[in-house]
């Protein structure tokens, strides 16, 4: 008797009690075979109910009003809070950092799509919606539920930015690490991408420096300041390690395009000496973070 036939026979009570039992794996597979028709039947019933269910169309207007409130009140209020956090640290990098959070981007997309679907539904549907519009109503409701979950995550991230300095430093430190890893990658990088990664590196450095300056002025948690400096030192050294594999790339990272295009070495040396902030932005950004904290 084949294993599958024997298995089905045991479950159906065909085999006697003293018959050789199949392995545990075969028992599980056999149970699944028995449950599959029941699961498919349940799914079929749910789908039929969803299609036949006639939702109260008034909820569409409620969803539109709710999403409008999120757009008009919640998002501007949260951006105002982030703006005040940036003012606390005297840093524009904080706002950029928050705008990169997935909660912010996903929330805007969900609210926009849900509101547009709701308005479209109200425009085209009066009474007795067709199957397509009933499914659209379910999509509007599902997006409404998902929006609420994302909104909770959004305000949780906002709370962390407003109250937890360590969280903010971790976010900026992660950006610093990622930018250095992107700059250190072995593959060939176009100048356009090199510039993007370099700017991200500088933004992360300046953001960390802004937070450390604030902490130093408040004279609290010196260990946090020391850890921040160590992190800058670690990834600064990793950046300079590019010299071994690709010295030309390191020059492009550390110095401006104008300086690199200067053929006269004496002129380049003078420009670098008298205008270091203009021609060695990345290098100056590293050293400045140590000089800013007193």
Closest CA to 165 of 211, 122, 125, 197: 211
What average pLDDT does the structure give for the chain?
79
* Range name among 108-117, 124-133, 195-204 with the lowest pLDDT average: 124-133
Q: Which residues contact 286 (CB under 8 A, 6 or more apart)?
A: 205, 232, 236, 239
User: What integer pLDDT is reported at residue 92 of this predicted model?
Assistant: 82
Task: Name the range with the highest mean pLDDT among 33-47, 122-136, 171-185.
Answer: 171-185
Contact assessment for residue 30 and residue 12, using Cβ atoms and an 8 Å cutoff: no
**Angle, CA of 202, 175 and 104, to the nearest 5°:** 115
> In the structure, what pLDDT confidence band is assigned to residue 144 with cuts at 50, 70 and 90?
very high
Q: Is the pLDDT of residue 45 over 90?
A: no
Residue 79 pLDDT exceeds 80: yes
| Each residue's pLDDT tens digit, 13-35 | 544 545 555 565 656 766 676 77
Res. 5 pLDDT band, cuts 50 70 90? low
Per-residue confidence at 10, pLDDT binned at 50, 70, 90? Answer: very low
Query: What ranges do the domains of the chain cover?
Result: 3-52, 58-163, 166-292
3-state secondary structure of 69: helix
pLDDT at 278: 65
Q: What is the pTM of this model?
A: 0.69
Supply the pLDDT for residue 145.
92
Q: Please count the other Cβ atoms lying within 10 Å of the Cβ belonging to residue 43.
A: 10
Residue 91, both tokens:
């840093």
Q: Are the beta carbons of 184 and 242 closer than 8 angstroms? A: yes
Mean pLDDT calculated for residue range 29-44: 74
Asked if residue 31 lies in contact with residue 11, where contact means CB atoms within 8 angstroms, the answer is: yes
CA atoms within 13 A on the CB side of 86: 16
Most confident of 184-188, 205-209, 219-223: 205-209
At 160-173, the pLDDT tens digits run: 888 888 888 888 88
pLDDT at 103: 87
Judge whether 258 and 279 are in contact, CB under 8 Å.
Answer: yes
Distance separating alpha carbons of residues 65 and 115, to the nearest angstrom: 9
- What the block records as the tokens of 24 is 């545990």
% of the chain surpassing 70 pLDDT: 78
Q: How confident is the model at residue 77 (pLDDT cuts 50, 70, 90)?
A: confident
Residue 39 exposure: Cα atoms within 13 Å on the Cβ side: 6
Mean pLDDT of 235-258: 79
User: Residue 150: pLDDT band by 50, 70, 90 thresholds?
Assistant: very high
- Of 106-115, 146-155, 183-192, 200-209, which gets the smallest average pLDDT? 183-192
pLDDT higher at 158 or 275: 158
Weakest mean pLDDT among 14-28, 181-195, 273-287:
14-28
- Choose among 203, 195, 240, 242: nearest CA to 96: 203
| Window from 23-32, 72-81, 150-159 with minimum mean pLDDT | 23-32
Q: How far apart are CA 202 and CA 194, in angstroms?
A: 12
């Amino acid at each position: 008797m084949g294993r599958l036939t024997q298995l089905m026979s045991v479950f159906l009570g065909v085999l006697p009690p003293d018959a050789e039992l199949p392995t545990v794996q075969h028992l599980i597979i056999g149970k699944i075979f028995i449950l599959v028709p029941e699961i498919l039947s349940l799914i079929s019933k749910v789908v039929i109910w969803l299609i036949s269910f006639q939702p109260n169309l008034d909820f569409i207007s409620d969803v539109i009003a709710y999403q409008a409130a999120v757009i008009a009140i919640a998002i501007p209020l949260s951006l105002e809070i982030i703006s005040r956090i940036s003012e606390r640290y005297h840093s524009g990098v904080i706002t950029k950092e928050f705008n990169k959070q997935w909660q912010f981007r996903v929330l805007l997309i969900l609210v926009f799509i849900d509101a547009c679907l709701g308005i479209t539904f109200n425009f085209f549907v009066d009474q007795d919606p067709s199957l397509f519009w009933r499914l659209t109503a379910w999509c509007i409701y599902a997006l409404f539920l998902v929006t609420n979950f994302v909104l909770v995550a959004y305000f949780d991230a906002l709370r962390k930015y407003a109250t937890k300095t360590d969280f903010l430093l971790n976010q900026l430190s992660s950006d610093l690490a990622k930018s250095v890893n992107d700059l250190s990658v072995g593959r060939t990088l176009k100048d356009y991408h090199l510039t993007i990664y370099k700017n991200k590196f500088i933004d992360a450095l300046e953001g960390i420096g802004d937070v450390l300056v604030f902490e130093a002025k408040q004279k609290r948690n010196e260990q946090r300041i020391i850890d921040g400096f160590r992190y800058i030192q670690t990834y600064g050294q990793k950046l300079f390690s590019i010299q071994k594999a690709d010295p030309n790339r390191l020059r492009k990272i550390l110095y401006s395009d104008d300086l690199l295009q200067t053929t006269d070495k004496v002129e380049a040396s003078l420009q670098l000496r008298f205008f270091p902030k203009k021609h060695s932005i990345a290098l100056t950004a590293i050293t400045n973070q140590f000089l800013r904290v007193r």
